[in-house]
A and B are shown apart, each in its own frame.
Chain A
Amino acid sequence: NAGVTQTPKFQVLKTGQSMTLQCAQDMNHEYMSWYRQDPGMGLRLIHYSVGAGITDQGEVPNGYNVSRSTTEDFPLRLLSAAPSQTSVYFCASSNLAGVAGETQYFGPGTRLLVL
């Protein structure tokens, strides 16, 4: 199993540009989520999904869109990039069977710089 994969690894954007961060998992996990990691702030939840066609907002959703058309994929879209979105983005997935107690598996991250 490849686990959770993310592309690209690095990206530089100009303010106002849009882009999509890709996330895929091959573990048949129902739950998928996006976090951003900023120095001194830990990880903060952006959006999450409990299955295909079902998404919801996390703690910091503004400026980001998600959709979940398949179990495997959960892309994160930046509509109009801003310097405040410079961060490291992590995708994670888990089973739903045990709900809150399930281990979340993280991808390697995407480093985004917005100029």
Chain B
Amino acid sequence: AQSVTQLDSQVPVFEEAPVELRCNYSSSVSVYLFWYVQYPNQGLQLLLKYLSGSTLVKGINGFEAEFNKSQTSFHLRKPSVHISDTAEYFCAVIPTDSWGKLQFGAGTQVVVTP
């Protein structure tokens, strides 16, 4: 079985400041890793995903994440946030041989203030 821990439930940040959202996972098998974003009153959309190759993954809207296999982490970063980045962010994992059964973390609410 897999589990995902998002270490912060809420992250307040000022506009134009950097932000890092932490995600740790545990799994006895190989996994793929995802970050999804949910803007207020909307569904989830993919920010980025790690399948293989370079451990630094770049996504949409200036976000990037680094896969660290030894620390079983997949932290999400953005060097300078905008008000429009206010949203809930979900880390998710799936075994590489699975049929799409994503295991989500509890989510991190990012609140960007001027």
Interface residue ranges, A against B (CB under 8 Å)? 4, 31, 33, 35, 40-45, 48, 50, 56, 58, 90, 92, 94, 96, 99-109
- Footprint of A on B, CB under 8 Å? 4, 9, 32, 36, 42-46, 49, 51, 90, 94-102, 104-107
* A58 and B102 alpha carbons, distance in the complex (Å): 10
Write the chain A residue with the least CB distance to B43: A106
Residue of B with least CB distance to A44: B104
The answer on a CB contact under 8 Å between A33 and B100 is yes
- Chain B contacts for A108, CB-based, 8 A: 42-43
Query: In the complex the two chains form, is B106's CB within 8 Å of A48's CB?
Result: no
B94 to chain A: closest CB distance in Å? 5
A100, B94: Cβ atoms closer than 8 Å: yes
- Residues of B contacting A: mostly: loop
Determine the residue in chain A with the shortest Cβ distance to B6: A42
Report the bound CA distance from A91 to B95 in whole Å. Answer: 20
Q: How far is the CA of A105 from the CA of B106 in the complex (A)?
A: 19
B91–chain A nearest beta-carbon distance, Å: 9
Q: Report the separation of the CA atoms of residues A4 and B101 in the bound assembly, to the nearest whole angstrom.
A: 18
Report yes or no: A99 in contact with B107, Cβ–Cβ below 8 A: no
| A58 to B, closest residue via Cβ | B101
**What residues of A have a CB within 8 angstroms of the CB of B36 in the complex?**
106
Interfacial chain A residues near B105, Cβ < 8 Å: 42
Contact B104 A90 (CB under 8 A): no
Q: A26 to B92, alpha carbons, bound, how many Å?
A: 25
Contact A101 B49 (CB under 8 A): yes
Q: Which residue on chain A has the smallest CB distance to residue B104?
A: A42
A103 and B46: CB pair below 8 A?
A: yes
**Given A40-B106, A42-B105, A43-B90, A102 and B100 touching (CB < 8 A)?**
yes
**A108 CA / B49 CA spacing, docked (Å):** 21
Task: Report which of B32, B95, B99, B107 forms a contact with A42, defined as CB distance below 8 A.
Answer: B107
